[in-house]
């Protein structure tokens, strides 16, 4: 069901500073910057071989990423696994007793459908599942 690591999400206070580190210092290719209004974040995506690094800057105080930054500070936020069909994966994982944040997929960055699993059920790791639309 899980095909690969799609990306690793990292919460930052300042996207421009994050880009300065990942693009200019680490030399990683910046694939794009995108506002994801549904999740209250601005996202910068970098290529890391087959996977990606996703920097997340909150665009509103109500954003889950803003709350994460306020309580935990910047750093590792989530890991995203690519699946062939997010809605089917959420249904199956939910039926196995894992607590879901999203019971149905919603729109993510870069023409994807995404859904999150609750870290209380996954050993403290916020897990995102995505699939291409």
Range 36-39 contact pairs with CB under 8 angstroms and sequence separation of 24 or more: 36/107, 36/108, 36/109, 38/106, 38/107, 39/63, 39/64, 39/65, 39/106, 39/108
The alpha carbons of the chain give a radius of gyration, in whole angstroms, of 14
- 1 or 95: whose CB is closer to Co ion? 1
Minimum Å gap between C-beta 133 and Co ion is: 15
Nearest distance from residue 2's CB to Co ion, in Å? 15
Rounded to the nearest whole angstrom, what is the least distance from the CB of residue 9 to Co ion in the complex? 4
Residue nearer to Co ion on the CB measure, 49 or 97: 49
Which residue is closest to Co ion by CB? 9
Binding site for Co ion (CB under 5 A): 9, 54, 80, 128
């Amino acid at each position: 069901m899980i095909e690969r690591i799609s990306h690793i999400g990292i919460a930052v206070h300042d996207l421009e500073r994050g880009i300065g580190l990942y693009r200019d210092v680490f030399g990683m290719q910046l694939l794009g910057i995108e506002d994801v209004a549904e999740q209250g974040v601005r996202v910068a995506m970098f290529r890391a071989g087959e996977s990606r690094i996703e920097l997340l800057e909150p665009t509103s105080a109500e954003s889950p990423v803003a709350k994460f930054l306020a309580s935990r500070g910047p750093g590792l936020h989530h890991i995203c696994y690519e699946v062939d069909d997010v809605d089917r994966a959420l249904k199956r994982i939910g039926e196995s007793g894992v607590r879901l944040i999203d019971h149905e997929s919603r729109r993510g960055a870069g023409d994807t459908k995404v859904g999150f699993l609750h870290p209380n059920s996954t050993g403290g790791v916020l897990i995102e599942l995505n699939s291409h639309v």
